[in-house]
Each structure stands twice: as C-alpha cells, then as structure tokens.
Amino acid sequence: MTATLRRRALLRQGVTLTGATLLPWGAAPAMAQTAVTRLPVLRAPRLKPGDTIGLFSPSGATYERAPFEQAAEVLAALGFQAREAPNARARRGQHAGSAEQRAADLNGLIADPSVHGLLAVTGGSGANRMLPLIDYAAIQRQPKVIAGFSDVTALLNAVTARTGLVTFHAPVAVSEWNAFSVAEFRAVLIDAEARTLRNAEDRGDHLIVKAHRIQTLRPGTARGPLVGGNLAVLTSMAGSAYLPSFDGAILFLEEINEYIYRVDRMLSTLKLMGALDRLAGVVIGAFSNCGPGDGNYGTLTLDEVFDDWFGALGVPVYRGAMIGHIRKKFTVPVGLPVEMDAGAGTIRLLTPAVR
C-alpha cells in the first residue's frame, strides 16, 4: 500500500498520522467544561418596610439626573429608603465609571450594616469587568438581596457561583414598575412567598390571549436550581470561574436586539461548553426584537433555532415566560431550587427565596 493510500485508510478509521483520534461525523465530543462545584444555598434576609436599599451602577452609565430621582421615588413608593452609592453617577466611556469604582460601590454597600439590599440602577454593558474585584467572602458573611437584570446577569450568576447566595433577576431601578412587576417583586422579596411564577392571562379586547403566550416545546416537569438570564451576557462568561454549575439546573434565558444567527451562535457556545447537556429543564423568556435582520428570512427562524438546540435534550422546555426586556416581568431567584412545569408554563419556588 502506498503512503497516500495508507493515510487515506487511517483517516477513514478516524486516526491521524500524529496519533490524534478524529470523531466520526455527528459523534458527540466529550464535555468541554469541568463540572463546577455547587455551594449550599444561601438566602438573604427578606426586605422590610423602612429598609435602606443601595442604588448602584454595575454596568452602563446613566447620563441624566432624572433617572436617579425616579429611582429614589420608586423605592419610596415600595416602602424603602434609597442610598446612592458614591460612584453610581460616574462615567468612563459607556460604563458607570471604572471597574474598580463599580466594584468599590458594591463592596461598600455589602459592608455597610445599615444597607439591607442592592438594586442596580440600569443594565448596559461591562458588569463582567468587575467580577474579579468583588469581595465574595464579605457577601457570604453578610448576605443581602442583590437585584437587576440584562447585563447584571454577569453579577447575579457570579455571586451565586462564588457564594451560593440566591440573587434576583428582577426589574432595575429605571424599569417600568407596573402593578404586575411590583406584585411579583413584593411576593418574592418582601412577603417571602414560595411563589409560583405564572404568566398573566390578559386577553384585553382579543378573543384569545395573544400576549405572553406559553409554547410548550417538550412537556414534563423538572426540579433544579435556576441559572441564567441574558443569553449574550451568559455566553460572554464561558470558560470563566464565574458561572454556576449547570448540572441538573433549570436554565432560563432572555435576549433583546440580536439577529437570529447570533442567537444561534450563542446557543451553540452553551452546547459546545457542555452546559446544555447537563440541564434538567429550560425556560425561554422574551427574545425581544430578535429577527433575521434586513427583513431577510434566508436565516433560520427562532422556532427552528430553539428546536435545534433544545428539542433533542430530552428535558422539559417551554417558551414565553415573562422574563426579559418586557414591561411586565417576574422576579426570578437565581440559584434557588424550583420545579418547572413545561405544560403549564410555570416555575414553582420550592422554598422562599429570602428568609
């Protein structure tokens, strides 16, 4: 046999001349990421009327004074006192100051015994820059409610991964605090209910419910701790020490203003890092303004993307949860064990998220 023919025969058998083994087409590789140790669940004290809530900016800068005035009014209307972190109004490019300034604000609010909870002013970008600068040991010693969403996904998941503390994917201070969002926030963080997160069914003037419809991709129930948040932010943390364990977890995802091919690529990252294969279930929230771009459906649809990545997992999956960049939203406890029902479209907290 000539050298060329021998080489071709070896390649057909999945062997390279350097000794590496090639996987046959379609074969699943070994999981790319080592399993992360999950810490015991740590719950912060519930929020009480009169408590002081620290307003901090872990991500984007806020360029006007009015949002801070409105944030203080929101907290007052909820029955709290507001305390603005020293660098909350800082700006460095699009960020709310340097990573050091933002981490100092977070660490200072955690260390201050007169502050009972932390609420992000807004999202934006850049929260992952401050993750190595956070005093996680102090958070474990003095656990407090930490809440926000969008880019704050990085902070929420990092704190949960490194401390075990349940954090909250919830409205930020500048969000629209409508009756639905307020009721969900109060139930979870003030009343300490072991609540079932269930979409509102408001038909309005329609014959059927059209907004916030549940679509069951694969029926069934599953239990596990919640992990997730904004898809782009979550995948930006791939390979880092700041992601919680995906083993037996319920993954929830939301996104805004991303082309479908980018959503597809981000989900492929979760697949390639081994995260999707470890899940107990998936809850898909709002993917707001996530279209094909340029009005061109030469791309996959979101339906097809979700079917491709979640359809073969063999776990319960549903879509349409009121999570994300939408007016009415749940307060979702990251790290808390829950039971999801993909047929009913619900997430049931197995214990209160605060104590």
CATH of the domain at 211: 3.50.30.60
User: In the listed set 190, 219, 245, which residue is the last one of a domain according to the structure?
Assistant: 190
Dihedral sign of CA atoms 299, 301, 306, 307 in order:
negative
Does the active-site annotation cover 84?
no
Collapse the DSSP code of 118 into the 3-class scheme (helix H, G, I; strand E, B; otherwise coil) and give the result: strand
CB 164 within 8 A of CB 335: yes
The reply to whether 9 falls in a domain is no
What's the rounded Cα separation, in Å, for the pair 257 and 98?
A: 26
Residue 97 sits in the same domain as residue 240: no
What CATH number is given to the structural domain containing 162? 3.40.50.10740
Collapse the DSSP code of 337 into the 3-class scheme (helix H, G, I; strand E, B; otherwise coil) and give the result: strand
CB 22 within 8 A of CB 11: yes
Residue 99 sits in the same domain as residue 210: no
Does the active-site annotation cover 325?
yes
| Positions in the chain short of pLDDT 70 | 1-35, 295
Q: Based on the structure, what is the number of domains in the chain?
A: 2
Of 150, 175, 181, 245, catalytic: 150
Residue 323 sits in the same domain as residue 186: no
Strands 215-218 and 317-319: antiparallel
pLDDT given for residue 257 in this prediction: 97
pLDDT given for residue 294 in this prediction: 77
Which of 282, 346, 286, 345 lies closest to 317 in space, CA to CA? Answer: 282
Domain that holds residue 335: 196-349
pLDDT given for residue 34 in this prediction: 52
Residue 228 sits in the same domain as residue 343: yes
Q: Per the structure block, which two tokens stand in for 317?
A: 């999956």
pLDDT given for residue 14 in this prediction: 42
The reply to whether 278 falls in a domain is yes
Residue 113 sits in the same domain as residue 206: no
Residue 102 sits in the same domain as residue 216: no
The reply to whether 6 falls in a domain is no
Residue 160 sits in the same domain as residue 230: no
User: In the listed set 169, 190, 211, which residue is the last one of a domain according to the structure?
Assistant: 190
Does the active-site annotation cover 254?
yes
The reply to whether 296 falls in a domain is yes
Tell me phi and psi for residue 52, to 5 degrees. Answer: -100, 125
Residue 200 sits in the same domain as residue 171: no
The reply to whether 12 falls in a domain is no
Residue 201 sits in the same domain as residue 180: no
pLDDT given for residue 310 in this prediction: 98
- What would you report as the CA-atom Rg of the chain, rounded to the nearest whole angstrom? 22
For 79-102, letters b (16+ CB in 10 Å) and e give: ebebbbbebbbbbeeebbbbbebb
The reply to whether 46 falls in a domain is no
Residue 174 sits in the same domain as residue 259: no
The reply to whether 16 falls in a domain is no
Per-residue pLDDT tens digits for 323-349: 999 999 999 999 999 999 999 999 999
Helix (H) or strand (E) holding 346: strand 346-349
Q: Which residues pair with 340 in a beta bridge?
A: 222, 347
User: In the listed set 141, 158, 190, which residue is the last one of a domain according to the structure?
Assistant: 190
Of 95, 169, 212, 325, catalytic: 325
Of 98, 169, 181, 254, catalytic: 254
CB 285 within 8 A of CB 323: yes
Give the CA-trace dihedral at 325, 156, 245, 21, to 10 degrees.
70
pLDDT given for residue 36 in this prediction: 75
What's the rounded Cα separation, in Å, for the pair 168 and 153?
A: 9
Collapse the DSSP code of 334 into the 3-class scheme (helix H, G, I; strand E, B; otherwise coil) and give the result: strand
Q: Which residues pair with 337 in a beta bridge?
A: 225
The reply to whether 14 falls in a domain is no
Burial zone of 24 (CB within 10 Å; 0-12 exposed, 13-18 middle, 19+ buried): exposed
Residue 203 sits in the same domain as residue 65: no
What's the rounded Cα separation, in Å, for the pair 256 and 150?
A: 9
